[in-house]
Amino acid sequence: MPVDICSQQHNLMGAISGTPDTSSLSLNTLSLTNGLPPTDPEHHHHTAHNMNKLCRQVSIESPGPGAKNCVFNFFVPIEDTPAHGARIKIVCAGACYRRRDRANSITSVSSVSSELSDYCPSLTSMASPAIREGSFFSGFEVAGVIEALGSEITESNNRGLHIGQRVIVFPFDETPAGYAELMVVPDLEHIVPIPDNLNMAEAAMLPTGALLAMNAVFKAQAVVTEILAQRAATDSNKKCRILIVGTGGLALWAVRIASYHFAATGADSVDITVASIRDEGFRLATEIKNVSVVQWNECLYEPQLIERTKDVCGGPVDVVIDFGTTSRSLHRSMHCLSKGGVVLISDEVAEKLLPKFSRLSNEYQQEIIPISNGTAEQLAQLVELVANKKIEPPPYSVFPCEQAAEVIQKLCNSEIPGRAILRFHDIE
């Protein structure tokens, strides 16, 4: 709940000193700013705050060695509602991290931090199974209710939104550096309403993980359509083979969305296979209908894994959606890909991996295509599909936000199947 500085200053200091991940704060020199997260000085002067009230914020940074020192708890000033925007009371948030080398804004989100390349030891700070397979990824996922609308919002420009409405937030430029109980959104175009039959925990998974997966599937559909058109004259009966790498939250979303999407647009022409990196993911993937599964056991030699994958897929594949992206997995994916095939990876990891693999892609006549997070319009479409039970969300577990540090530790150790959701308020 918001804290009144004037009347509860002593309690505020006690709350900060008792927060597990604020060991860097010194009570001898504690001031209001000591309890605040770092701000982006370039944008600091644009933000107005209600300095009489504070609310708590949980910030999750990209993990360091052993997944330690990546969760920080702060009390931050409640920002004034933007004139053309809204203030949202966060109910649930997906356990995503913010990369340490990024500014406060998140202009692209991905399944894995690109500095974890297996072929670049100097940059490998930690490579937990959760990072490699896309269970824990960078992004911004929140669901909540509208607490206030801006002073310039009227019936004619409110986009059908109102105070008390259940919504999710599409990640935008200058997205906050963490999950505060109350967050402001500068423009209503970044807010997507959710129906009453979609619970907050499931809705919170949509703005980054599910949306990125959906955009990847849409791009895969475009590639498949082009390939089938080229084969129409010579080999019209040959199916398109798609390989989805990883069985974390991103890949589980992708295989569910792909199963629905291709069933609606021509499942007879597409075969889908999932490459699982861990045992739990293998079990989850086998529960999905009409999808083949191959386990990438890291104890095996690369030629064995590649041959095993081709056997399960029925030969080299035409498209790979790689959510377990390290240099090693991308290298393996390209060896499972046919000549002229396409690999889809998130645009954030593409910054590091494209230069490394440009020669190999040219040699194999393959294309590596970066995938962005998608659009607010796609997010609204995804909300409708999930709310109407046409696409089933992957497994998830809900935890109190006070347990964020423990949750992230378990997530990085692959002790939480599917997604982890942090709950800030219980309104359901």
Q: pLDDT digits over 270-313, tens only?
A: 999 999 876 666 666 667 778 898 988 878 899 999 999 999 99
Residue the block writes with tokens 């986009």: 159
The mean pLDDT value for 85-90 works out to 96
Strand 142-149 versus strand 166-169 pairing type:
antiparallel
How many other C-beta atoms are found inside a 10 Å radius of the C-beta of residue 402? 16
Query: Which helix (H) or strand (E) covers residue 332, if one does?
Result: helix 327-335
pLDDT for res 23:
33
The mean pLDDT value for 402-417 works out to 85
pLDDT for res 325:
61
With vertex at residue 215, the alpha carbon angle to CA 217 and CA 412, rounded to the nearest 5 degrees, is 90
Q: What is the pLDDT of residues 5-41, one digit of tens each?
A: 333 333 333 333 334 443 333 223 223 333 444 444 4
Per residue, the 3-state secondary structure of 104-147, as one string, reads CCCCCCECCCHHHCCCCHHHCCCCCHHHHHCCCCECCCEEEEEE
| % of the chain at pLDDT higher than 90 | 43
pLDDT for res 106:
34
Q: What is the pLDDT of residues 317-347, one digit of tens each?
A: 999 999 866 888 899 999 999 999 999 998 8
Residue range(s) of every CATH 3.40.50.720 domain in the chain: 210-371
Least confident of 97-106, 210-219, 349-358: 97-106
pLDDT for res 279:
60
The mean pLDDT value for 201-213 works out to 95
Higher pLDDT, 47 or 83: 83
Higher pLDDT, 178 or 283: 178
pLDDT for res 48:
55
Question: If you average pLDDT over each of 145-154, 290-299, 323-332, 408-417, which comes out highest?
Answer: 145-154
Least confident of 54-68, 120-134, 175-189, 226-240: 120-134
Cross-strand pairs, 239: none
pLDDT for res 7:
34
pLDDT tops 90 at residue 422: yes
pLDDT for res 263:
83
3-class DSSP state of 383: helix
> How many residues in the chain?
428
Kindly report the pTM of this predicted structure.
0.78
Higher pLDDT, 289 or 75: 75
Alpha carbon distance 140, 64 (integer Å): 19
Alpha carbon distance 317, 265 (integer Å): 19
Burial class of residue 348 (count of CB atoms within 10 Å of its CB; 0-12, 13-18, 19+) = buried
pLDDT for res 89:
96
pLDDT for res 50:
53
Least confident of 18-32, 91-105, 358-372, 382-396: 18-32
Spatial neighbors of 133 by CB under 8 A, at least 6 apart, are 246, 247, 248, 251, 277, 278, 281, 323, 324
Higher pLDDT, 405 or 248: 405
pLDDT tops 60 at residue 47: no
Higher pLDDT, 248 or 193: 193
Q: What is the CATH number of domain 210-371?
A: 3.40.50.720
Cross-strand pairs, 182: 89
Residue range(s) of every CATH 3.90.180.10 domain in the chain: 3-96+140-204+395-423
The mean pLDDT value for 111-121 works out to 32
pLDDT for res 60:
85
The mean pLDDT value for 130-148 works out to 79
pLDDT tops 50 at residue 68: yes
Task: Please provide the average confidence, as pLDDT, over all residues in the chain.
Answer: 78
Alpha carbon distance 105, 109 (integer Å): 11
Spatial neighbors of 307 by CB under 8 A, at least 6 apart, are none
Distance of CA 126 to the CA centre of its chain: 19
- What fold is seen in the domain 3-96+140-204+395-423? Quinone Oxidoreductase; Chain A, domain 1 (3.90.180)
The mean pLDDT value for 46-64 works out to 70
**Are 207 and 83 contacting, i.e. CB atoms less than 8 angstroms apart?**
no
What is the per-residue DSSP string for 66-118?
Answer: GG-S-EEEEEEEEEPPPTTSEEEEEEEEE--BB-TTS-S--S--BSS-GGG-T
> Number of C-alpha atoms within 13 angstroms, CB side, residue 93?
30
pLDDT for res 428:
67
Higher pLDDT, 41 or 419: 419
Residue the block writes with tokens 């995938």: 371
pLDDT for res 66:
53
pLDDT tops 80 at residue 265: no
**Are 411 and 399 contacting, i.e. CB atoms less than 8 angstroms apart?**
no
Q: What is the pLDDT of residues 160-177, one digit of tens each?
A: 999 999 999 999 888 887
